[in-house]
Structures are given as C-alpha cells and as structure tokens.
Structure 1
Amino acid sequence: MANKAYASNPAWYNGGDDKNGESKKANSTFFDTDVDFRIAEYMHFCSRMLVKEPKKGRNKAPAMVVFCAFEQLQMVIDYGKRYGFQHYIPLTFIKKSSAQALKANMKIVGGCEYGLVLYRDKLPKFNNDGQMIMNWFHWDIDNSYPKIHPTQKPVPVLKRLIEIFSDPGDTVIDPVAGSGSTLRAAAELNRSAYGFEIKKDMFRLANEKMLNHAEMSLLAL
C-alpha cells in the first residue's frame, strides 16, 4: 500500500473533490510502519505467543487470525510455514460499500477484506453451535464504537471470530493492537486480552477511547 494508501479514496483530495486539489493525505501512508513492517519478526513473535497444542483431545488447539490484502495472502502463508503454521483457512469478508470511490466509474472496485486462519498441526478450537460456518463473513459495522485507526477492524467482526476460535476465559493476544478493537471485543466476550502497539499516539487513543471501560492490557513497545 505504501504511499498509495488513499489512492482510490476521496480523502486524497481536499473535501473529497479532485477539483479542490490534493489534500495532505495524497501520496501518504496510513503509518510509517506500512513501509517498514517486518513480517518475519511478526511471525516469530506470534509463534512464541501462541500456546502449544495439547497432546490429546479435539477442538483444543490454538489459532492465529491474520488480516491482509488479497495480494499478500501467499506471502503470509509462506512466512507462516517458516514459523510452524503449517496449515491455513482463507477468509473473505464482504462489505456493503467500497472505499475505492474514485475508481467506481473506471473498473470493478474492491468490496472485500481478506484474512487467514493459521494453525500448526491440529485443527483449532471450533465453536459453531451446530451451525455450518462458511469461509466468508459479512463486514458488520457498529458505529457506537469510536473510530480511531484508518484500517480499524469492526468489533462485531472480531467478536464473531473470537467466539468461533476461543472459549470464555481463554486469552486473546493482538501483536499489532492499533485501535484496541480486538481487545475490546475480547473483553466483551469474557476473554482475557493483551495487545502490543509501537505507536505511542495510537496507544494513547486506544486507552482513552476504546479501552477506557474495559479491564485489559495494551502495552506500548
């Protein structure tokens, strides 16, 4: 994404209109970490944080969920295998609208988010309540939660994933916590939650706006 983060978004221009000239967001990234994200270190950290698989029993193994661009799926799969995540399940999240408004009269625009469920050897814990769960989900948004991060994931989506792959009392860890929405979702589902964030301003906003009524930990590195 790099400096093209807003390339198909009206925010590229002042007032969302190209007649007004480019805004400060033109040719910019969401964050400097978009350019210098070290996926090998990320995978190593996650592999250390994820609990070991139980030797016996079904539906007890842990899982890791990664959101990424469609073009990044294979890279995440390959790096995951280097650090012990030998298997994966692809996920697609369907939106009601597209952020690529500037491209709408030029081509088919993107209306999906993508992700992967990574796991080691055993199938991860799976709570389906007797219902078939497909590998696609609606991108449900709840505007009652504060909007802090430009790529913030909706709390309802995160809650659904947490419900499926963990039990009440389990621990949820977000290595790139951002707005803290994962931690908020976990807390509302009676899971323990820990998040890590290197951006001090994001750490402050998440604590002040997203996590101020929840008991959890967000660590600034």
Structure 2
Amino acid sequence: MERILLYHDSFQNWKAHYIEKAQLVLSDLPYQLGANAYGSNPSWYIGGDNKNGESKNARYSFFDTDSKAGFRIAEFFHFCNNLLIKEPKAKGKAPCMILFCAFEQQFELIEAAKQYGFNNYINIFTDINDVVIDPCAGSGTTLLACKNLGRKGYGFEIKREYVKGFYEKLLPLAQGDLFIQAELERQEKGKQARRAAALINA
C-alpha cells in the first residue's frame, strides 16, 4: 500500500478507496460561495452604488467547482466521524481535526501558516507513521508535508489537473529526513519481529 495517495475523486466517495483511519484530518474547506462570490462587496454594483444597478461581477462565481451538488458540510463531518480514529484511553493519542475557515482574523492565520507551514501542525498533532487525511487536498501540499515527515497521507481532489500536477511536479520535491527514515525502519523491524513471534506462538 502506498504511503501517499491523492485520489481524483470527491471525499464523499471515500468508501470506494482503501483509506486507513487518521490521527489528523487537516483541510482548507471550500467556501461554496457560488454566484455570490462578491456578496456585499461594492464591486457587485456599478460604481459601488446599488442605485446604479448590478455590475458584470454580480452573480459571478470565483471557482468553477462551486455548485449546489458540491461540498456539503454534513457529509464532511460524517466523513470525519468515520475516518478519524476513535478516541483511545491512552494519553496523547486523541485524534484531531484542523479546518481553515474564513473569519475576521483570516489574514493573521494565513501569515502564520506561511511562516510555520503544514509541517508544524502535522508534527504537533501526529507521530511518525500516523495517518493524515486532507479531504479537499487541492494541490496536495499537505500530502507533500506528510511525505517529508514520515506520515501516511491520503487526499481527495476533484480537479484532474491538480492531481496530475501533484504526482508529476510536487511529490518529486519530497525531501527525506535521515532521522525519520531510521525511525520508520525501526518501526518496520518491530512489526516484523512481532509477526514472527505471533507465528511461533500460534
């Protein structure tokens, strides 16, 4: 099984794919603005005044993926409920969900994300070999961070060109870390030893 997979599909079809349960779900959700992209922005009206009538920006959609059949928040939370690991009794093993949403401090958060990157969030909330899922993966930077940090990463993206670009351009930029690689090898040897012991005791 591949450690990093970006599926050209909607997360709503997750049952059709093999996905391990995740320690972390990390995603920048689509806003689903549709034809109300400019909303209360003065650009909606000619000259910024509603007395002048609607401008060419009225009923304009920023994103070609916005549609009534697109992102559904209830299905997203159903997805998370099914694919986050169940909360264990062990300390420090509770699953986590990080969602980037627009609100008044969005620019502060975006600057913080640029400064620290997804690596920081993934390092804090997961351990080496844990699973991270990005249900709305876009270009796949979350999955690249997973690859660099020795985590398993799964993502979904509905735009074919993003998935193609991820495999052809972004994933080859992954940079292995010797310490992470050594830890992955140590864990694999431990698994093999446990399997061998189970066979002997069977």
Which TM-score band applies after superposition, normalised by the shorter structure? 0.5 to 0.7
- Structure 1 position 197 matched with structure 2 position 197: no
Secondary structure of 1:163 counterpart: helix
- Residue 181 of structure 1 corresponds to 141
In structure 1, give the amino acid aligned to 2:87.
E
Query: Are residues 1:44 and 2:18 paired?
Result: no
Q: Find the counterpart in structure 1 of residue 15 from structure 2.
A: none
For each residue in 1:23-54, what CA deviation from the matched residue of structure 2 results, as whole angstroms up to 9, or x when unmatched?
A: 9xx93322323653111111111211111111
Query: How big is each residue's C-alpha offset from its partner over 1:167-193, in whole Å with a ceiling of 9 and x where there is no partner?
Result: 111111111111101000111111111
Give the paired residue count. Answer: 128
Code of the aligned partner of 2:151: R
Q: Which 5+ residue runs of structure 1 have no aligned equivalent?
A: 9-21, 72-91, 96-111, 114-136, 142-155, 216-221
1:140 corresponds to which residue?
114
The whole-number CA distance in structure 2 between the counterparts of 1:34 and 1:193 is 27
The question of whether the paired residues in 2 share the 8 Å contact of 1:176 and 1:196 is answered with yes
Compute the TM-score of the two structures, normalised by the length of structure 1.
0.48
1:139 partner SS: helix
Structure with the larger strand share: 1
Name the CA distance, whole Å, in 2 between partners of 1:93 and 1:166.
24
- The normalised TM-score by structure 2 is 0.52
Gaps (5+ residues) in structure 2? 1-32, 42-55, 176-202
Letter in 2 for 1:192: K
Identical pairs, percent: 43
2:137 touches 2:156 (CA, 8 Å); kept in 1?
Answer: yes
Assess if the C-alpha contact under 8 Å between 1:46 and 1:175 holds in 2: no
User: Which of 61, 74, 85 is matched with 2:94 structurally?
Assistant: 61
In structure 2, what is the Cα distance between the partners aligned to 1:194 and 1:64? 14
Letter of the structure 2 residue corresponding to residue 176 of structure 1: C
Q: Which has the larger radius of gyration?
A: 2
RMSD (CA atoms): 3.2
SS across alignment from 1:32? coil
CA shift in 2, pair 1:139/1:6, >3 Å: farther
State the AA in 1 paired with 2:76: Y
Which residue of the partner structure matches residue 127 of structure 2?
167
1:96-111 counterparts in 2 under 5 A? none
Q: Could you report, residue by residue, the CA deviation over 1:118-166 in whole angstroms, capped at 9, with x for unpaired residues?
A: xxxxxxxxxxxxxxxxxxx72325xxxxxxxxxxxxxx42111111110
Q: Secondary structure at the match of 1:51?
A: coil
For 2:141 and 2:67, the matched residues in 1 are separated by: 19
Task: Work out which of the residue numbers 49, 65, 89 in structure 2 matches 1:32.
Answer: 65
| Pair 1:93–1:161, CA change in 2 (3 A) | farther
Q: Which has the higher contact order (CA 8 A, sep 6+)?
A: 2
Q: Report the Cα distance in structure 2 between the residues aligned to 1:5 and 1:179, rounded to whole angstroms.
A: 22
